[in-house]
């Protein structure tokens, strides 16, 4: 029996905008879920995905990808790479898995929204594959760390993190919920696939894969490279949706969605990826600085994609470029100082050699962030570890749910962008965070940050022990310095946080 080439039938079989007989169009595609915005069905039918794949091709390719990643894992499992890996790299893996594995599994729901409710048949087809992609990403990123649970309970946070009130998990969930679970299918296509996946997952998966290969962690490098091949395919759903919106007079609405979620994604990556690339990855294995990765993958590529679609750079672009020298350094110091409240062991990355590297990549680092590390280092050298641990909470931004940080030392510029809305005082870490809130206050105003919950008496007892209990962080899980302060010139074993 002859078999048609896929390009001979693809367009025909995915033209599935059939005329319903038992329900009307509005019941089949409720506006709340579809988000067609009054654009007619014929216009949505012009959706033209740049990457076309059939189900049989998809399954065959995915099987090969899984076989590749799983066989690398199996081959290297007995080498016990993790046991000899730098503790900073181990922390990188634990932070990555906890922040992303379950979130990726959840992303299947967002893809499913497009698969069911998009008015564009091509979008529905691609999203079906995207949904399967995200299930794979959830499963594989839970399975790979599972072999390490015998080494430390922190590895169990690959599964546990997103089910807790740990502050970083709250921040991640707030952003993912905003982007994936509470939007119509058109918004998901733009915010999740275009702005987040096109813009940022390259950073996490390709940037980190480069460092993983350098660090000799071929299991992790092959895993995340495998994931990224899926991301780069299903991320292409946003472009055609944007094209249709722009052609139908909805450019401003599309632009605003991109502007909101791009900033939100940037803030999340500033606390997740920034510290990993510039502080946790051992110095000799760093391919590029976080800023250099951002300049290449975000400023270069994303800017070009916006241009190609006829969209503008987000209105805050200059501030975003400026913040590349600042935000993640503050986020890193916050994570390290409040290290008992995370599920990994943060690497300080502030030895003399590492500080030299930071100064070369971020001129002025020593006179700003370095000033704080000077005090911390001296405290450790003089045996005053208690002064390097927190006795209060940081003020949390009511948009990104991350600490309000800025540049310390000689360039001190820390600012809180406050707003009183309906009698409640909100705190924001930047003008853009506040702007995001102001675009849709009803969406965000009910949320309580971890500090709001503390002040409302939800965290008991009202001290660090109570906070750890609230965040489900148990002994053996709470973070300590990854290198036991060797970077500061001391060899002291520390379990004070426990």
Partner 1 sequence: MAIFPLSSNFEGDFVIQLVVVDDASTMDEVAATCAVHSVNRRVAPQPGKVMRVRRHSTGEVYPRDMQVKSAGLLPTETIDVIFSDI
* CB-CB contact of 294 with 345 (8 Å): no
Nearer to partner 1, 341 or 388 (CB): 388
The answer to whether 371 contacts partner 1 (rule: CB under 8 A) is: yes
**302: number of Cβ within 10 Å:** 21
Angstrom CA distances, 407 to 364, 370, 418, stand at: 11, 10, 18
Residues in CB range of 67: below 8 A, 6 or more apart: none
* Residue 457 to residue 187: CA distance in whole angstroms: 36
Q: Binding segment for partner 1 among 41-49, 130-138, 304-312, 333-341 (CB under 8 A)?
A: 333-341
Look-up: residue for tokens 């590492």? 354
Instruction: Give the residue, chosen from 387, 460, 474, 475, that forms a contact with partner 1 under the rule CB under 8 A.
Output: 387
Region from 13-21, 289-297, 392-400, 436-444 binding partner 1, contact rule CB under 8 A: 392-400
Q: Does 333 bind partner 1 (CB under 8 A)?
A: yes
Q: Is 369 in the site for partner 1 (CB under 8 A)?
A: yes
Of these, 55, 80, 412, 431, which contacts partner 1 (CB under 8 A)? Answer: 412
**In the complex with partner 1, which residue's Cβ is closer, 138 or 275?**
275
Q: How far apart are CA 287 and CA 325, in angstroms?
A: 18
Among 196, 200, 337, 470, binds partner 1 (CB under 8 A): 337
Cα–Cα distance measured from residue 465 to residue 11, given in angstroms and rounded to the nearest whole number: 60
3-state secondary structure of 272: helix
Contact positions with partner 1 (CB under 8 A) in 434-453? 451
- Our CB check for partner 1 shows the closer of 81 and 435 to be 435
Please compute Rg for the chain using Cα positions: 23
Q: Which of 1, 23, 420, 456 binds partner 1 (CB under 8 A)?
A: 420
**DSSP per-residue letters across 445-470:** TT---HHHHHHTT-SSSSSHHHHHHH
Return the range that interacts with partner 1 (CB under 8 A); candidates 46-54, 137-145, 284-292, 328-336: 328-336
Considering only 314, 334, 340, 479, the residue that binds partner 1 (CB under 8 A) is 334
DSSP state of 419: E
Task: Tell me the CB-side half-sphere exposure of residue 362, using CA atoms within 13 A.
Answer: 26
Contact 52, 10 (CB under 8 A): yes
Which parts of 248-307 interact with partner 1 (CB under 8 A)? none
Q: Do 450 and 165 meet the contact criterion of CB atoms below 8 Å apart?
A: yes
Contacting residue, 88, 138, 408, 479, with partner 1 by CB under 8 A: 408
- Which CB atom, from 87 or from 406, has the smaller least distance to partner 1? 406
Tokens standing for 308? 């190609």
Residue 227 sits in the site that holds partner 1 (CB under 8 A) = no
For residue 495, what are the CA distances in angstroms to 333, 390, 485?
19, 15, 12
Q: Is 346 in the site for partner 1 (CB under 8 A)?
A: no
Nearer to partner 1, 68 or 390 (CB): 390
C-beta closer to partner 1: residue 334 or 479: 334
Report how far residue 138's alpha carbon sits from residue 12's, in angstroms, rounded to the nearest whole number: 32
Q: What is the C-alpha end-to-end distance of the chain, expressed in Å?
A: 69
Compute the distance between CA of residue 24 and CA of residue 195 in angstroms, rounded to an integer. 33
Two tokens, residue 380: 């450790």
C-alpha distances in Å from residue 352, one per residue of 214, 287, 359, 377, 408? 22, 19, 10, 11, 19
Q: How many CB atoms lie within 10 A of CB 301?
A: 13
Work out which of 149, 351, 379, 484 binds partner 1, going by CB under 8 A: 379
- Find the part of the chain contacting partner 1 (CB under 8 A) among 129-137, 348-356, 371-379, 469-477: 371-379
Phi-psi region of 383 (alpha: psi -120 to 50; beta: other; left: phi over 0): left
Q: Does 17 bind partner 1 (CB under 8 A)?
A: no
Least CB distance to partner 1 at residue 370 (A) = 11
Residue 260 or 405 with smaller CB distance to partner 1? 405
Is 372 a binding residue for partner 1 by CB under 8 A? The answer is yes
330 is an interface residue for partner 1 by CB under 8 A: yes
Stretch that binds partner 1, among 32-40, 76-84, 251-259, 415-423 (CB under 8 A): 415-423
CA distance 223 to 93: 12
Quote the least distance from Cβ 429 to partner 1, whole Å: 9
Between 87 and 340, CB nearer to partner 1:
340
Q: For residues 212 and 464, which CB has a smaller minimum distance to partner 1 in the complex?
A: 464
Among 65-73, 102-110, 345-353, 387-395, the segment contacting partner 1 (CB under 8 A): 387-395
Q: Is position 456 an interface residue for partner 1 (rule: CB under 8 A)?
A: no
Stretch that binds partner 1, among 127-135, 223-231, 302-310, 408-416 (CB under 8 A): 408-416
Residues that bind partner 1 (CB under 8 A): 329-330, 333-334, 337, 369, 371-372, 374-376, 379, 387-388, 390-395, 403-409, 412, 414-416, 418, 420, 425, 427, 451, 454-455
């Amino acid at each position: 029996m002859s078999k048609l080439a896929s390009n001979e039938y693809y367009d025909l079989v995915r033209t599935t905008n059939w005329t319903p007989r038992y329900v009307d169009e509005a019941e089949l595609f409720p506006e709340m879920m579809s988000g067609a915005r009054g654009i007619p069905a014929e216009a949505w039918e012009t959706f033209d995905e740049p990457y076309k794949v059939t189900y049989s091709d998809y399954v065959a390719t995915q099987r090969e990808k899984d076989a590749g990643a799983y066989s690398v894992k199996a081959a290297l499992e007995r080498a016990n790479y993790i046991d000899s890996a730098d503790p900073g790299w181990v922390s990188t893996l634990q932070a990555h898995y906890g922040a992303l594995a379950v979130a990726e599994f959840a992303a299947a729901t967002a893809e499913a929204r497009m698969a069911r409710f998009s008015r564009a048949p091509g979008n529905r087809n691609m999203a079906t594959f995207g949904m399967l992609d995200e299930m794979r990403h959830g499963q594989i990123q839970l399975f790979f760390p599972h072999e390490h649970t015998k080494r430390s309970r922190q590895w169990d946070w690959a599964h546990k993190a997103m089910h807790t009130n740990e502050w970083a998990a709250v921040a991640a969930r707030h952003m993912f919920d905003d982007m994936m679970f509470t939007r119509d299918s058109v918004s998901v296509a733009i915010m999740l696939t275009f702005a987040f996946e096109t813009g940022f997952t390259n950073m996490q998966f390709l940037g980190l894969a480069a460092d993983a290969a350098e660090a000799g962690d071929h299991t992790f490098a092959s895993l995340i490279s495998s994931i990224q091949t899926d991301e780069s395919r299903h991320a292409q759903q946003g472009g055609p949706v944007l094209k249709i919106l722009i052609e139908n007079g909805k450019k401003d609405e599309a632009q605003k969605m991109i502007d909101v979620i791009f900033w939100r994604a940037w803030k999340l990556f500033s606390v997740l990826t920034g510290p990993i690339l510039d502080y946790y990855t051992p110095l000799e294995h760093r391919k590029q600085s976080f800023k250099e990765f951002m300049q290449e993958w975000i400023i270069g590529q994303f800017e070009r994609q916006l241009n190609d679609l006829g969209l503008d750079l987000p209105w805050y672009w200059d501030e975003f470029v400026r913040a590349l020298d600042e935000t993640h350094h503050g986020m890193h110091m916050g994570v390290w100082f409040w290290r008992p409240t995370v599920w990994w062991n943060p690497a300080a990355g502030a030895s003399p050699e590492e500080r030299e590297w930071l100064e070369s990549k971020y001129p002025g680092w020593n006179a700003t962030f370095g000033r704080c590390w000077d005090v911390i280092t001296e405290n450790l050298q003089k045996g005053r570890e208690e002064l390097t641990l927190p006795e209060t909470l940081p003020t949390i931004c009511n948009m990104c749910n991350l600490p309000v940080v800025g540049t310390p030392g000689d360039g001190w510029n820390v600012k809180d962008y406050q707003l009183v809305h309906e009698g409640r005082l909100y705190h924001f870490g930047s003008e853009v965070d506040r702007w995001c809130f102001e675009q849709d206050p009803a969406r965000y105003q009910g949320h309580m940050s971890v500090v709001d919950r503390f002040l409302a008496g939800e965290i008991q007892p009202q001290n660090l022990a109570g906070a750890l209990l609230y965040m489900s962080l148990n002994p053996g899980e709470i973070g300590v310095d990854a290198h036991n302060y060797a970077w500061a010139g001391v060899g002291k074993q520390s379990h004070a946080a426990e």
